[in-house]
Amino acid sequence: MFKSIFTNAAGILFSRVLGFARDVMMASQLGASIYSDIFFIAFKLPNLFRRIFAEGAFTQAFLPSFTRSKHKAVFSVTVFALFLGVIVLMCLLVTFFPHISAQAIALGYDEVQIELAAPYVAINFWYLPLIFAVTFLGTLLQYRGHFATTAYATGLLNVVMILALWLARDLDDATMVEYLSYGVVLGGVAQLLVHLFVLYRLKLHPLLLGGVRYFRRKAPRIREERQRFYQQFFPAVWGNSSAQFSAFLDTWLASFLAAGAVSYLYYANRVFQLPLALFAIATSIALFPKVSRHLKHGDEAKARDMLRRAFWFLAFLLTASTIGGIILAPEITALLFERGAFTCNDTAQTALVLQMYLAGLLPFGLSKLFSLWLYAQQRQSEAATIATWMLGTNILFSLALITPMGAAGLALATSLSGIIGFIATVRAFGYRYFLEIITHRFSLYWLLGTVLFTALLLLLKDVLH
């Protein structure tokens, strides 16, 4: 189990380090300005779908159905063709009507800002079909127990975007955003090519070729399997993507605030997402196929034991990340971003938003762990109900906090909704089983470690200042 977790974590760390290098360059060259806001708006929907597809939502919906299918080749090709067709159609609509799409993403923008953002929205949207194809192929690789390619390939997007920033370093802000937008699409192409190569090396391509070859003959045999998957897919994706939709809501509401608010949320969320992805998402991706197999074969005790070990692994790491991040938020933000066009005021605003996001790191991370239990048992509708409650409470908290706290209030609303989602997820998992986990002797070690680590960081910060 831990080998797969560390493989995913190493790949995510590789990608996030490159992502931070990209963000440092972006902050230095664009700062927290109207053009940085416009790029983040244009990249928001593609990035939302990237997180939905690439960070486990699609896999947790598709893999159980694929595992149980009697005609895996035809089933996989059928699902791929339908989803790809719908996504390409969406891209064409956005290409022909970019202003409407930009207005939908940034409702608070005026006509001039929408005019600026529209062409970049259209370019960035073509990343969607590429990242869906990458995620689909990555799921097939995970079925074979291969995680490394998908984990590391995400870094290619950041490499291409860094190259785009370097090429546009002496150009005006508008041209720089255009270079970045095309870099997003080319990064998706690079990810797809790597996955196709590895799929061929692992001799999985006959699965797809066979699905195409026997599609007409065997398509009627998978009608029930296909219908069952579609019934489960949308609740599964909705249930596993509440954090992503919350971040999208933050950006949408932040478009009503002063220039720079969207950028503060973006930069802070990037830092927040590092421990979430590095620990929680990496663990859930690695754990899900194993838990699914144990439950499929009726070995629930072994599945619960894996969950218990993963829980304490995450509890220690996420707690340390939360405490360290909240205490050192100004220093972290200044170290990463404060240079060039990114001022000390931008650092203060971004650090405050980061602290509000980090208040929800532990509940969001542990929710990822317990929700995979629901998906492995194909209880997608329960996960979707929890996600709906989370989004509803996030909207209420956001509307209540945006006026007094601005962008920081939106981040705090996200964290509060994450706490509510965690409680609901634990309830669905079962309070009795949850109590068995947290009454383990590790709870005392966790409490002692939390107190000592907090005291050490406060002392260190006092010495540094």
Q: What is the DSSP string of 391-430?
A: HHHHHHHHHHHHHHHTHHHHHHHHHHHHHHHHHHHHHHH-
Q: What angle do CA 422, 427, 431 make, to 5 degrees?
A: 115
Angle between helices 173-201 and 205-213 (to 10 degrees): 90
Weakest-pLDDT range from 1-5, 185-189, 236-240, 302-306 = 1-5
pLDDT at 370: 87
For 230, residues 6+ apart whose C-beta sits below 8 A from its C-beta are none
> For residue range 47-68, what is the model confidence (pLDDT) as tens digits?
777 666 655 567 767 777 777 7
Please determine, for residue 280, whether its predicted confidence score (pLDDT) is greater than 90: no
Weakest-pLDDT range from 95-99, 125-129, 222-226, 424-428 = 222-226
Distance CA 25, CA 318 (A): 28
Please determine, for residue 2, whether its predicted confidence score (pLDDT) is greater than 60: no
| Residue for token pair 């380090």 | 17
pLDDT at 260: 77
pLDDT, mean over the chain: 82
Please determine, for residue 465, whether its predicted confidence score (pLDDT) is greater than 70: no
Residue 144's pLDDT band, with cuts at 50, 70 and 90, is confident
Please determine, for residue 412, whether its predicted confidence score (pLDDT) is greater than 90: yes
pLDDT at 23: 80
Domain locations along the chain? 2-464
pLDDT at 292: 74
Distance CA 241, CA 416 (A): 16
Amino acid symbol at 64: P
For 12, residues 6+ apart whose C-beta sits below 8 A from its C-beta are 151, 154, 277, 278, 281, 282
This prediction's pTM: 0.70
What are the structure tokens assigned to 426, written together? 């634990």
For 199, residues 6+ apart whose C-beta sits below 8 A from its C-beta are 137, 140, 141, 205, 208
pLDDT at 320: 93
Weakest-pLDDT range from 147-161, 248-262, 385-399, 404-418 = 248-262
> For residue range 69-117, what is the model confidence (pLDDT) as tens digits?
777 777 788 888 888 898 899 899 988 888 887 877 766 677 777 888 8
Contact 138, 149 (CB under 8 A): yes
Please determine, for residue 124, whether its predicted confidence score (pLDDT) is greater than 80: yes
Weakest-pLDDT range from 223-237, 251-265, 312-326 = 223-237
